[in-house]
Structures are given as structure tokens and as C-alpha cells.
Structure 1
Amino acid sequence: MSTPSLARALDGVRLHIVTGKGGVGKTTVAASLALSLASQGKRVLLVEVEGRQGISQTFDVPPLGTDEVRLVTHAGGGELWGLSVDAKAALMEYLQMFYKLGRAGGALEKMGVVDFATTIAPGVRDVLLTGKVYEAVGRTTGNRRGQGAKVWDAVVLDAPPTGRITRFLDVTAQVADLARIGPIHSQAESITRMLRHRESVVHIVTLLEEMPVQESVDAVAELSAAGFGVGTVIVNLVREPIVDEALLEVAAAEPDRVAEQVRSDLVSVGVKASKATVTGLLSQAHDHAERVALERDLAAEVEAQGLPTLRLPALPTGVEDGGITVLADALTAQGVR
């Protein structure tokens, strides 16, 4: 299987959907991707739909509401904006847009209709959440959809995790039993067309650990089978080996020789080279060698998916104090455009 170039995989893409197994840093990667695009002069909207306020925490701003908020103005002319989509607010907006309910919408909320639609009927909830993304991607400067220039050069969606990403995106199937005709069904079909269009791709975030890699492989297969385009696999928290690979091989083949070298090196810098100290260091080196070998195998499994692979380094101090900018620059340096 030939791997497409990153430039070809991202050519013409305006909606970047970021998913990954819980705990892999999905929100951090989505924010880094959005900032990378904004740093290149684009007007970018970063959207979250899980209500965790991950965007506000990442950029150290007050919790986001239902209005778009400017997060970063880049010296190169780009802008990064943030939006947290709330299902209830989206439903009230939807009811007003299609049915002009006005105050009646508030009455429906008191009667529990809104809670039913957004909680008990999850398919409708996902239509509402993706519907806001659909609106943002298609929004133009004209009075009607399609008239004028696009408001956003790119939209980055911090999406649900890989375990439910396919179901979340396949909104037409979600509402098939709830609304076979009418505006909800029509909107679901419009959203699905957008999500399956070549302008939309899903990026899968993983770590070089067995469970995240396996879930990522499964997600690639499921998304592709459902007709959604997969753009890249982004390997997060990449740690460079701390011991030279050649030395690790020698340690495995000739432990006595390495033990003497370690003892000599410790003495040369004034450290007491007890047997326990040397044995402990060699044990750690052995564990490190095993981890490096496992990560190498998992990296090969990621590469075997036939998708462009991006790598983000593990930062010693996390994403605070400019860490997001470091990660954004790393994506830009690897060719993200």
C-alpha cells in the first residue's frame, strides 16, 4: 500500500476532525493543529462538542459560551477563534430557525422536550452538534449560504473519542428511525454529505502504546468502511531514546562488560559505584531497551495503515508556557498547511 504525501492528503481540506482514544492528548493536538494553520495566515475556528472546556483550559481563557471567541491573533495575519457547542443551545437555535417558536421554545424546555431531544435521543443530539460545525464550515460573507467568501479558511473539530467517532459522524443513520422525512432528516443528509466530502478529513491521535494503537487501527478501518476520509495519524508524546541504541545492544549481549563501564563512569564523576547502584542502572537500561523496541514495532504498525504520519514530541513541562506553540510549530515544520 503506497502512502499518500501529506500535501496530497491535506489538499483542499477545510474541516479537520480530530479524534483519538481517551488520554492520548486529543484536545491538545486539535489545538496545536488549529494554531499551526492560523500561524500561516488562515482564519481558523476551533470547535469542541464534549462540554469539557478543553479549549479554554488549553489557551488559559475564561470558559467558552455559545459565541465564537478570538483566542489568538497571529503576527502573520492569521486568527484563531474558539467555540464550545452546547446541544441544548443548538436545539433552541434550530427550533427558532426552522419553526420560529420564539418564547414557545422556552416552554418546551420547561416541559422537558429539550432534555429528551438532547439526552434520551442521542442521534438528534449529534445532529445538533455536527449541525453547528456544518453551519460554520459553510458560512459565507453573503446574505445566503454560498454567497460571498468563506468566513473560515479552516475549521478544526475536537471530536468525540475513537470509540464512538464513526457513530457520531454518521448522523443520517443515527436519525433514520427518528426522522425519516422533514427538516431534521434533510439536515442530517446535508451534514453527512459535508462530512464525506473530500474537504473533510479525520485525523487520528495515538500514542506508541498497545491499546491506543490498536484502537487507532480499528478506527481507520471503521471510518474508511463508513465512507469518511482519514487524513493522518498523529503520534503524540514521542520520547526520544535516552540511551544510544548501540549501547543497549551491547548491554543485552555483554552485561558484565557494560557493568564495568558503568562502574567506571560513576567513579569518574564522583558517584559511589556500589553493586546495587550499578545493578539498578542496568535494570533500568534493560527496561528502556524493551520500551524502545516495543515503540519501534508499534510505529511500524502505524505506518502500515498507509496514511501520512505526524509526530509530536513529549514536552518536559507539558503544554504550559508556550508548549502549544512548540507543538504547532512542529506540525508546520512537518508540512501541515
Structure 2
Amino acid sequence: MKVLGIETSCDETGIAIYDDKNGLLAHELYSQVKMHADYGGVVPELASRDHVRKIVPLVERTLKSAGLGKDDIDGIAYTRGPGLIGALLVGSSMARGLAYAWQKPMVGVHHMEGHLLAPMLDENAPAFPFVALLVSGGHSMLVDVKGIGNYVVLGESVDDAAGEAFDKTAKLLGLDYPGGPLLSKLAEQGHAGHYKFPRPMTDRPGLDFSFSGLKTFAANTIRASDGALQTHANIALAFEEAIVDTLLIKCRRALKQTGRKRLVMAGGVAANKRLRASFDLASKKEKYTVFYPSFEYCTDNGAMIAYAGCKRLLAGERTDISARSMPRWPLESLSAI
């Protein structure tokens, strides 16, 4: 089955074609980062308009890249939610139009399920069951994954997500948007031991996350500093170490609680080099295996939507053409396949 995947949940327009026999055939991605940088964050109305401008050319380019026509496509998958409602509507409208015009079945995919299954696109794919750490600009979540659609949320962010805390702290340091990768680059110049940041919510039981207080601690530290570049680098390092340590502590707890020996990390923050290095070291010492998607599949992309959609279409799942987009959509409400 060849499935055309459409991702428009936020500020990336992603289109891909996945074949259940031959894997990923083609994928295209357009990022709106430069447009939103002038505003220091995503402007929903501008994001929606840009999706409208880019989505049709990207679909045409993806089909051409795969050497396929509409008759070769067996189904359409699109991000139904969660996300920015205006952006979601652009993708769902495109999916509906193509499904109707081409007379193909379609399925709405949960954005976080797409991220959770992104490592399946690589050759070294994890086997079920496993614990998944989903870390992005909008979500920090630990999930016990027994199979596709069989999810139990173990813990999630109660305020700022990890990626959001990265971007906000980077802005306090005077870095451009999106600040997370720039903060990590600055942290490479930092000297360890100059600052000690708290590891939020690790002094109590539970698997929920809270990074708002850490961001406030960073803001107070920055205000009290001398503003020198080296000082900012030291602060960036201490902040990044606090995020990584917190995620690692919570993952240890989740693995112990569930008895799993496999950990999947996905989402934009999963591209962080310090995070990967720390988890690789810990996994070797503690005898579990950690899996990451390729860097190109960490951020929002159409490939993960095409893959998840293909699995659900093969299982007989269909989304009615009248179905509404869902800016909020609990992961545990999905059906198991």
C-alpha cells in the first residue's frame, strides 16, 4: 500500500509517500522558521497562510520525486491533531480534496503517534513493547507502548514542555528563534560547575514534568549575571544539563516502573546531542536499549504521518470526510490495531 502523508500541525509543511513493501519513497519538507523568526515565535495566522501557499507544490514535487501519479496512491493520511487549528485545517482540507477527487480512502493521524512511531522508519527499528519519551516544543510525555494505538501515558508536562523551555530561555539569553539549537551550540562553549540549576520534580515520586520553574530560575540567573558571552555560555550549559538530567531521571523511573528494556526517544528535542550522549552512556551502564529517529525525522515531517497512516489504513481504519480536526486530542483515546 502506497500512502501519501500530509503534516501541517504547526510551522512545517511535510509531504511524504510511504510504501508498506518498499518503505519511504519520497518526502519533502518546508520550514517556516525564517518567517516566524521576526516575531520570536510561531504566529498561527501566518503559519496557516503559508501552509496554503506551499502544500500543493509540495504534493506535486513529492509525487514527481517518487515517480508516481494519483493512480499509484492507495490512501491519504493527514495530521488530524493536536496542533494549531488553522494549520490543521489546511492539511485536512487538502487530504479531503485529494481523497474525494482521487476516490481514495483517508485516515486522520494523531501527531504524537506519528512522532512516537518515527523510529520505525529506520532500519534499526524498535520492537514492541517499549517506553517512549516524546519531547518537543509543545509536549513532554512518557508513554508505555504495548503496540500501535495501545498506549498508557505515564507522565506529561504540567506547564512548559522541554522544547518550549529551551526556546524561552534562549530568548532570555538574546538568541534568535528558534532558540533551542542555538542554546545548545552556545552551551558547547560553557564551563561546567559555574552554575547549578534545579532538576524540577525529581525530589518527589511521579513521572510528570514541569519546566516553567526552571525557566524562571534561568531568568533570575541571567538578570543577576554580568552579561558576558562566557557567562551566558556557562548558564546555557547548566540549563541544558538540568533538562537532560531531569529527562534521564524520569526515564529511569518509567523503565523501572514498567519493567521495559527498550526506550524510544522522539520529537524535536530528541535531536539534542547532549541528550543523546547522556542517554547512550546511561543505557550501556543500566542495560537497556535506546532508539532515536534519524535527525530528519525528529522535527515535524510527513514521513511519520505517512507511516502511521499506512499502518492504520492497512488495519481497515478510515476517517470520514466530514470528521473535524482536533487541536486537542488525548493520545490514550486512540484505538489499538
Confirm or deny a common fold (TM above 0.5). no
> What TM-score, normalized by structure 1, do the two folds share?
0.30
> What TM-score, normalized by structure 2, do the two folds share?
0.30
Please say which structure displays the higher CA radius of gyration.
1
Query: Whose strand proportion is higher, 1 or 2?
Result: 2
